[in-house]
Amino acid sequence: MDDADLRRLLARVRGLEDGEQACLEVKQTLSAPSVQWLFRLRAIGGVIGAGMALWILSGLNAPSEIRPWPYVLDAAIVLLVGGLIVKDRFTRRDLKRVEVDDGFLYVSEYAGPSQAAIPLNDIVSVTQWRGRTLRPVSVHLRSPSTFGTRIRFQPKRGWGWAITEDSVVGELRKRANLPKNPNA
């Protein structure tokens, strides 16, 4: 199948007449190429930080006397870091790969062949967690898709302040004809 056949097929699907020109739209990737590195760095940093805290707390116990509170703090730090690593595992599973063109939002899992094409007019709102290392964007849908009514993805890294929204959020709102301010 060559370009002319693809254009005719696309024109037929869109309902264009034979003489009209159909242009092929290019998908733009909005999500980060891979999020595994981010979660691995967070886990390594957590383990190193917990190790340092345990080392400092173990030095507070003098060899001649045994105080129980450093051991309680050691156990609390180990449980906290372990809980955060498990939470990161679930968060990583929830993040999707997202691409967009003029008419659809294409959503797929990082490790899986399934893909859903969601019309942009099905988007109700676009929000983002800000002020953290992980700043996922949530796309809320009018009706459920293969991946549910909320699609979350980690946007590509860009320059900007941690408290401001990434440009991807504004772009998605613009493509879906949503107001710039979600509270308006």
* H helix intervals, the chain: 3-14, 36-60, 69-94, 167-175
89: left (phi over 0), alpha (psi -120 to 50) or beta: alpha
Cα–Cα distance measured from residue 110 to residue 96, given in angstroms and rounded to the nearest whole number: 6
Q: Is 147 left (phi over 0), alpha (psi -120 to 50) or beta?
A: alpha
Query: pTM, whole model, 2 decimals?
Result: 0.62
On the 0-12 / 13-18 / 19+ scale of CB atoms within 10 A, 59 is: exposed
Asked if the 26-32+95-175 domain carries CATH number 2.30.29, the reply is: yes
User: What are the residue boundaries of the structural domains of the chain, listed by start?
Assistant: 26-32+95-175, 36-93
How confident is the model at residue 142, as a pLDDT?
93
Nearest to 91 by CA among 145, 133, 140: 133
CB 69 within 8 A of CB 60: no
| pLDDT per 10-residue tile (average), the chain, 184 residues | 61 54 63 73 78 74 64 78 75 81 87 84 90 81 90 78 80 87 61
- Predicted confidence at residue 75, as pLDDT, reads 78
137 CB neighbour count, 10 Å cutoff:
22
From CA 100, how far away is CA 60, in angstroms rounded? 55
